Amino acid sequence: MNKNVLEHLKQQINCSEIFRVLSEDRSYVQQVAQKFDNCEKILVIGTGGSTLGAKALISFHACHSGDESRVIFVENTDSRNFVNTIKKCNPDTTGVIVISKSGVTTETLVLFLTLCEIWPDFDYVEKAIAITEFSDRNDLRILAESKQVKILPHNPKIGGRFSVFSIVGLLPAYLGGVNIDAFINSAKTVMERTRDLNTVEESKLLVDAITMYNLFKDGAVDQHVLMLYSDMLYHYGRWFTQLVAESLGKTEKFGITPVLAIGTVDQHSLLQLFLGGPKNKLYTIVIQKNNLETPEVSNENDSAIINNLRGRTIHDLMLAHQETTIEVLRRQSLVRVIEFDTFSIEALGALMMASTIEVLAIAHLAGVNPFNQPAVEAVKTELMQKIAGSEYEPLRKICSV
């Protein structure tokens, strides 16, 4: 089994488009981005895999640098939030990127169509881009062509949740100030190390993947808790949740339910369940040794706790929480710790590639196709029947704007 999974991964790395794009010339991304040089803000319209990867990169960079990103994601069909977001943007100084692999994602289409209604005089020729397949049945392509929007090809062999390493993730990320070269080079290093392995046992990543598969296959656990000790990694966690759920949830006999937790906040919301509830979980905890320096607490008074904190920093307390939580969880559950010296865009690249390889390994062991989502497609078909039906009259209790 171990030999087979390694051979399968090597074949994927050598042949699959999701890995091949790591070697593409990224100067093309920079050339395309010049279209938005004069834009103060850029709206990225999409949902699911079309935005989760790029959002993980941009939110990480914004939190790490302290700079507010000019890239704004419009992802959900929440009309109030949509209108409030658009109100904050000046159409004269805003660019638009619309992303849908298939071009038939209803949420993306209705958001873009509504934007067209609100901004009828927007310069779609000079300040808009659509990323979609060049397929026959593609409503986004038809709409983009009617507006003379520049269309970039979405690789038909790369599903949304695997597209972060392609132009789908890299163009918004670059526009948001992310060092995409550092991100890709780090991801590529993890990929190459896996490709160059002689045995599974040389890779902790693959050993962990096999261990996870066996635990979930045997029913010992059914939830994978990803606990991230950094606000910078929150949207990486959102991306990870889709990657695991949509890639592996294909059969009633096998599945992994991903659970996202952020330390230390979720020690005050989920930790009680983790420790006191069912022991059906394994844990991956991601931590860093070093963080931004803050002043040591110097206040001294009659409070024992405050006196104990004297001479400590915010990160000192974070380290103490990490260590304590890991120790307590390990007394009763399987815990994997991934530690970085410091969180950086290189660390994020390594994390996202490692997550990708791990999911592909587990999918191979479980005998499921990690690249499709048949149940989701079935829901889409039923949705189209509902909204196309003459009997469908939605309740429109919407406040006027």
The predicted-structure confidence for 78-110, as pLDDT tens digits, reads as follows 999 999 999 999 999 999 999 999 999 999 999
Tell me the CA distances in angstroms from 104 to 67, 107, 118, 133, 384, one per residue in order: 34, 9, 21, 10, 10
pLDDT over 50 at 401, yes or no:
no
5, 8, 355: which is closest to 164 by C-alpha? Answer: 355
Which amino acid is located at 339 in the chain? E
Q: How many CB atoms lie within 10 A of CB 154?
A: 27
pLDDT over 70 at 396, yes or no:
no
pLDDT over 90 at 397, yes or no:
no
Go through the domains of the chain in sequence order and give each one's CATH number.
2-182 (3.40.50.10490), 200-366 (3.40.50.10490)
Kindly report the average pLDDT of the chain as a whole number: 94
What pLDDT sits at residue 380? 79
pLDDT over 70 at 393, yes or no:
no
What pLDDT sits at residue 306? 86
Mean predicted confidence (pLDDT) in 8-36: 96
DSSP 154: P
> Which has the higher per-residue pLDDT, 342 or 303?
342
Query: What is the chain's Cα-based Rg?
Result: 23
> Which has the higher per-residue pLDDT, 306 or 159?
159
pLDDT over 90 at 2, yes or no:
no
Q: What is the pTM of this model?
A: 0.94
Q: Helix 167-175 crosses helix 180-195 at what angle (to 10 degrees)?
A: 150
Tell me the CA distances in angstroms from 128 to 54, 251, 268, one per residue in order: 17, 40, 43
